[in-house]
Structure 1
C-alpha cells in the first residue's frame, strides 16, 4: 500500500514481516490524518503475525531519533500493544540507516515488525560490557498503574551484580525475562514502558535533596512503604551504573514524575517466562552497546 507520505508491505505467505517507510515518524498524539492511516495499517497487519511458542515480536525503528526520544515509544508505545504478535515477548531496537523500499522513493523513517526466535539477538547492535545483572526478583501482585515505582523498589531492595559504571551518554540495552502469575496472559506491549523505565531508574541515583522529602512521602503513600526507606533508596549511589540524575524523581501534580536516561536505551527485550506461582517476578541485565 503506497500513499503520498508512506509505503507499507507485508505480511505475505512464508514471510511474517511487516515493513513501512514514512516521511515522518508516527506521533503519540495529534497525528495528521496520514499518520492515523499508517498506524491503523501497521496495527491491522501486525495482528496477522501469529507467533509460535518459540517466537517473539522483533520491532525496529529506523531513522533519526530526537535526542530525548525513547525507542520503545517510537517502535511500540506510539503504535500498538501488539497483543497477538507480542504475546510471548517483544524485542525492540533503533535500526541503522533507512533502506529504500522497492519503489525507489527515499523516506526518512522506517518501521519493521517480524517474528524472531526467543534466542535471537539484536540486528543493529553488538553487546559490549555488562553493566549490571539480577536474578529472579519478586514483584508480588504487581497491581495498579504505578508499575514503574514497583519495579524500581523491588530492584533497589534486591542484590544485583553491578560493575563499573557506564561513561556519560553511553548507549545500552536492557534484556529482561518476566514471569507472570499462573493462568495469566499479559499484554506485554502495554507493560514494556513501565517495566523498562522502572529497571532503568533502579540503576540511577537521585541527587537533589530539596525535593526528596516530598517525593519520598508521595512514593511511600503509593507503594504503602516507609518514606525513610524510599529516601535512602533514591540517594544510594552504589548501584547507579547509569549515573546520577539531579531529579530522578520529582513532584508532579498529585504524584511523581520520573526522569531516567531511558533515551540512551536503544535496544531491549522483554521475554515471557513460564509462570510457577501466583506472583510476578523479573530477571535481566543491562549491557553497553556499540554498532
Structure 2
C-alpha cells in the first residue's frame, strides 16, 4: 500500500512536467526560433553589460572630432558622430531604451488586452458588445498618426512612451483572448466549477485563464517586435525620446543626414532594429508551433 500511495503521489508532478518537456522539444526543433532566441539573448546581454565595459559615456564628446563624423578606428570601433561621441557606446545605450520600451510596452499591451478580452469573452452580452465595439474603434484609428499626435501633445519620457505604446497595440491580444474565453467557458471543468459555486472572477483566474496562456504568450512575444518598431519609428521621426538620450530610432535619424559620406553610422542601428524584430518574430512562431502543434 505504501508503494502504491507513493507512486500515486509522484505521478501528477511527472505528468505535469511532461507537456512542458514536449513543448521544449518542439521548440528546439524550430531552428529559426532557436536562432532568434540566441540573437535576443546576446542582444540583451550586450545592452546590459556593454555600458559597464565601454570606456566612454553615451554623451561624452571628443572635441577634436566635432564637426564631421569620424571613421571607425581602434579607439572608436564604429566611428564617432558629428558631435564627437562614440557611436558604439551610443548604440549600446540606445539598445537599452529600445529593448526596454519594447518589452515593457508588450507587457502593458498584454495585460490590457487580456483584461478586456477575458471580460468580453466570459460575460458576453452587453459587456462583449461594449468592449468589442471599443476595440473595433481603436483598431480603426491609424496607430502611428495617433501616437504622433499624443507625442506632440505630451513630449514623452521613456515611461510615458512605454504607456503610449503599450496602450495602443493591445487590440489584437484582446480579440485573441476573447475567442479563447468563448471556447473555454463551455468546457466541462468550467461547468463543474460553476456548479460547485465558483464565481466569475474565480472561474476566470483559476480555471479559464491558465488554459489560454499559450496563445497569450505568443501574442505577448509578437507584441515586443511591434513595440520596438513603433518606438523606433517615433524616435526616427523626432517625436519619441529626444537626444542626447540615445535610442536606435533617433540614432538612425541623426545618421541619415550623413548617409552619403558616413554610412557606418546608419547601418548598425538599422541592422539592430531589423535583426531584433526578426528574432522576436521567429521566437513567436516557434512558441506558437510548440504550444499548438498542427499534427
- TM-score bin (small chain): under 0.3
Larger gyration radius, structure 1 or structure 2? 2
Higher share in strand? 1
TM-score (structure 2 length as normaliser): 0.26
TM-score (structure 1 length as normaliser): 0.26
